[in-house]
Amino acid sequence: MMNRMGKVVIPLKKWVTQALDKEQAKIWIKVLNETGALTSIIEAILDASEEMEQSKSRTEARILLNFIRDSLSQGWSLISSKTGDFTLQEPNLEDNTIRRKHLQSILTNRVEEQHAVQSISDFLTKIQPKYSDFISDPKTIATTYDKLKDVFSRIRVVSLDESEIVRKKRYRYLRHYWRIPYNSMPARSMSFVVELDNEEIIGIFQLSSPTMWMSGRDGALGFQDLDRIQKFIQDNSNVKKRKESKKEWITRIRQVGIRDSNYTPHPNSGHFTVSEFHESMIKALSERLQDLPLSQMKGIGKKWKKYGLTGSHADIKNMIVTKKMVSKRKRIFKSAFEALENLSRINTPVSVEDLWEIIHGSRRDKKALKSYKQAMREQKTRMISAGFVTDISVCGAIPPYNDLRVGKLIAMLAFSEEVSRYWNQKYAGKKSVIASQLAGCDIVRNPKLVAVATTGIYGRGNIQYDRISIGEGENRRRLIDLGTTGQAKIRDGKIDKQGPTTMNVSLQTWKAINQYCTEYEIALDTFGKFGEGTSPRIRRLLEIKRSLNEENEIPKGLIDSFIMNRFSRSIHVGLLDRKSIRVLLGIDEQFNPLTPLPAASDIVEQWSERWLKPLCERDDWQERITKIKSIDLDEVMPGKNVKLLNNC
């Protein structure tokens, strides 16, 4: 069992023997006991094993040794004892500064791996000598607030969808400057450059389809967890765990704007009643079922007709009828129709307390909670997959503007009218591929961007997204800090938040994992192709964990220590209007903002007053500007040296 310091005895001799043969294994185990260059030795063992005839057992051992090698490269220790046993120990990351440096080291490893790929290396080397065509010379940066404000007043937000190939190459080059590896997005995605009137780029950002499930984010979008969630209370060296009380549950549920049905919400409040919520959940289930070819589906009966359902107008000749698709349609029908029947027979709740009584209280209906959760799932899937919510997946300033709080400006521009217009126009009238495959005919969505979300890589206290606010009074739009990612766990008397991650896994390990999955037909629907579902790489790791645990004497918790992320990210959500939640829950059909979205020029003006001006008035301003002017872009831009900054 892994303790807080992550110290565990591992059967390394067994794995080395599996990867090689007994004679070779004896030699290498002796070397492991006698040398300090453990990472290099593991590499050599893997190289030797690669030349041998492969088997399932040998391949599994190679994956485990790859995990060990990755761990050693990330600061873990491998300690041999006099008895010949090996103990793996993770680094002590209790100190926040050490944790941050450790995370930076891991991310740098991943980026350097990517930059070493021949095609990427060739691209960066080709573009690097030309960066002066689109990056400002630090020596020419204005030195006073008035001059800087004038420079920034002439910026423009440019969508790459409307750009020539040269600008797209520039974006791609600058994206490799980030500390996080550059990966393409399989679903909706839109990239932007923010540039001056001379086409010098000061920042970039990208909007992408968000991850489908994130508990810390979903509540702020209206999709509250209706369960009684676990509460963790730190009491000195002990942690107590309990379910939230009725009062705590009601308070949390009310936070999204739900009110008792005898309350008439103000038209501009964005609030909604319990009755409206209940009816919207029934509607969500009905719409889900309407998108299925009900008349062509066998074995589902005809009870659905009494709910006024007709199903999709499927093109029978072209409808996908593979075993997998037929099974998926039946699975969706079963869960959605059962939930529809249950919610339709429940007396509509009229207060939040009434909702509690039906789900958890004295009038508890055993099927009510499951049915509401299913309805919420269907509504959230529809809204997120259609593009009503987007994730700011890339966001930051470009040298030499990092140290002028331009990262905040780039994040604020995601709230601009121009960005929403670009997004809405791009996806208006577009066919939903997965929904159309299920329906057997074209299903067209017309999304309106109503909310943005993002995560900050270093957890709480994210400088870039902290205190971002646009407008005042009724016009105010904020990026709200909602805490951190990960599921709370009790670990050695302390509260840890963690979830599965791919950042600890090197490209070399992924190569071994992918070969194993292909050869032995494991997790074949997790290669990251469009339509495979959410987080395919995470699901692949979890499948690998299950497969490896079967026969390899793996200590409990060891693989989790490799693939679980203890570096929680901060979560931020910005609603584009007070009525955004009503739209996301399906209560309102149309998105009509109470006040117009701000133009990019208005956002620049506000940012200048709120963030740039105070910076220019600080006592250390001259020192700061001198430092900016001394930046050597040759040393920081990708293609020559990999020296990554924080992009804030």
Q: How far apart are CA 88 and CA 78, in angstroms?
A: 5
What is the pLDDT, as a whole number, of residue 144? 96
Per residue in 70-94, pLDDT tens?
888 888 888 887 777 788 888 887 7
Q: How far apart are CA 401 and CA 203, in angstroms?
A: 8
Per residue in 499-531, pLDDT tens?
667 788 899 999 998 888 888 888 776 555 545
Per residue in 292-326, pLDDT tens?
999 999 999 999 999 999 999 998 888 999 999 99
The encoded tokens of residue 279 equal 């009816």
Number of H helices, E strands in the chain: 25, 21
What is the pLDDT, as a whole number, of residue 5? 46
What is the pLDDT, as a whole number, of residue 348? 94
β-strands 86-89, 7-10 pairing: antiparallel
Does residue 460 register a pLDDT over 50? yes
What is the pLDDT, as a whole number, of residue 236? 66
Phi–psi pair at 282, nearest 5 degrees: -65, -40
The percentage of the chain sitting over the pLDDT mark of 90, rounded to a whole number, equals 50
What is the pLDDT, as a whole number, of residue 305? 95
Number of alpha carbons in the 13 Å side-chain half-sphere of residue 241: 10
Helix (H, G, I), strand (E, B) or coil at 277: helix
What is the pLDDT, as a whole number, of residue 642? 44
Report pTM. 0.88
Gyration radius of the chain's alpha carbons:
27
Element at 105 (helix H, strand E): helix 96-116
What is the pLDDT, as a whole number, of residue 39? 83
* Average pLDDT over the chain, rounded to an integer: 87
Number of alpha carbons in the 13 Å side-chain half-sphere of residue 517: 22
Among the listed residues 409, 562, 452, the one whose alpha carbon sits nearest the alpha carbon of residue 64: 562
Q: At what angle do helices 56-73 and 38-50 cross, to 10 degrees?
A: 160
Domain residues of the chain, as ranges? 7-92+502-565, 100-208+389-449+587-636
Per residue in 257-303, pLDDT tens?
999 999 888 888 899 999 999 999 999 999 999 999 999 999 999 99
What is the pLDDT, as a whole number, of residue 561? 76
Q: Which residue has the tokens 């791996």?
A: 113
Q: Average of pLDDT values for 114-120?
A: 88
Number of alpha carbons in the 13 Å side-chain half-sphere of residue 456: 26
Per residue in 548-560, pLDDT tens?
866 677 877 777 7
Cβ atoms of residues 565 and 486 within 8 Å: yes
What is the pLDDT, as a whole number, of residue 553? 74
Per residue in 182-228, pLDDT tens?
777 667 899 999 999 999 999 999 999 888 888 889 999 999 999 99
